[in-house]
């Protein structure tokens, strides 16, 4: 009786082992799957990050190319306009000389029409003359070619323009060549008499 009972317990123990092994194997498989999913999630996140970085780099490259292209167009445009300015100068001098000589023929009128067309073109490109005479000398906008003593003007004031300057927007295309007033002998820069001269008198 005891032997039979003992054999029965051994059989039950033997029957319980496969289920336990299957449970353990299933848990291990689940852990392996979760590990693989975590790895895939990490790979997807890395690929997404690389994709976003590639998009950003591409957009930055397009912006740089666009800015370089716009800058190149701007430089070429300004060079073209700068080359036109001497032509405008010559036509203005020719018209001025003809008017000064009392000439008012068709040739002069034709030159004036061409000159007006050039002025209109410059205006359409946001090109404007630099105001010089009566203004304080500005080395960014003016090029001093001469200095004259003058009691009628404050020192450092532009009194004459020999070559008109132009700007496009806020950028200087060509500085104006000007004559600048300086204080007469015995005057300081603010136009007041030198105290040493007053004492000597």
Nearest to 84 by CA among 47, 56, 114, 105: 114
Instruction: Answer yes or no: do 30 and 112 share one domain.
Output: yes
Instruction: Per residue of the chain (201 residues), give pLDDT as tens.
Output: 545 554 444 544 444 455 555 666 666 788 888 888 888 888 888 888 888 888 888 888 888 888 888 888 889 999 999 999 999 999 998 888 888 777 777 888 888 999 999 999 999 999 999 999 999 999 999 999 999 998 888 999 999 999 999 999 889 999 999 999 987 764 544 444 443 343 443
Instruction: Answer yes or no: do 108 and 136 share one domain.
Output: no
Report the run of H or E that residue 178 belongs to, with start and end.
strand 176-182
In a domain, 147, yes or no: yes
In a domain, 137, yes or no: yes
Polymer length of the chain: 201
Instruction: Answer yes or no: do 121 and 99 share one domain.
Output: yes
Q: Which domain holds residue 91?
A: 25-125
pTM of the model as a whole: 0.59
In a domain, 10, yes or no: no
In a domain, 16, yes or no: no
Distances from the Cα of 23 to the Cαs of 26, 29, 30, 77, in angstroms?
5, 10, 11, 80
Question: Total domain count for the chain?
Answer: 2
Q: What CATH number corresponds to the domain at position 179?
A: 2.30.22.10
Instruction: Answer yes or no: do 132 and 121 share one domain.
Output: no
| Torsion region of 191: left, alpha or beta (phi above 0 gives left; psi -120 to 50 gives alpha) | left
Instruction: Answer yes or no: do 134 and 89 share one domain.
Output: no
Number of helices (H), then strands (E), in the chain: 3, 6
Report the run of H or E that residue 115 belongs to, with start and end.
helix 106-124
In a domain, 17, yes or no: no
């Amino acid at each position: 009786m005891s032997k039979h009972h003992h054999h029965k317990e051994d059989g039950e123990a033997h029957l319980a082992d496969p289920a336990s092994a299957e449970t353990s194997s299933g848990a291990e498989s689940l852990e392996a799957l979760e590990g693989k999913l975590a790895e895939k999630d990490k790979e997807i996140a890395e690929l997404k990050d690389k994709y976003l970085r590639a998009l950003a780099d591409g957009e930055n490259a397009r912006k740089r190319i666009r800015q370089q292209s716009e800058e190149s167009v701007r430089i070429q445009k300004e060079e073209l306009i700068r080359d036109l300015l001497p032509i405008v100068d010559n036509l203005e001098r020719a018209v001025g000389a003809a008017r000064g000589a009392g000439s008012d023929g068709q040739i002069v009128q034709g030159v004036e029409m061409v000159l007006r067309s050039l002025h209109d073109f410059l205006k359409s490109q946001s090109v404007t003359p630099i105001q010089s005479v009566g203004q304080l000398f500005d080395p960014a906008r003016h090029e001093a070619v001469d200095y004259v003593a003058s009691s009628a003007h404050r020192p450092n004031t532009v009194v004459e323009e020999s070559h008109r300057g132009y700007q496009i927007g806020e950028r200087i295309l060509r500085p104006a060549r000007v004559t600048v007033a300086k204080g007469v002998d015995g005057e300081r820069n603010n136009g007041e008499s030198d105290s040493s001269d007053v004492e000597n008198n």
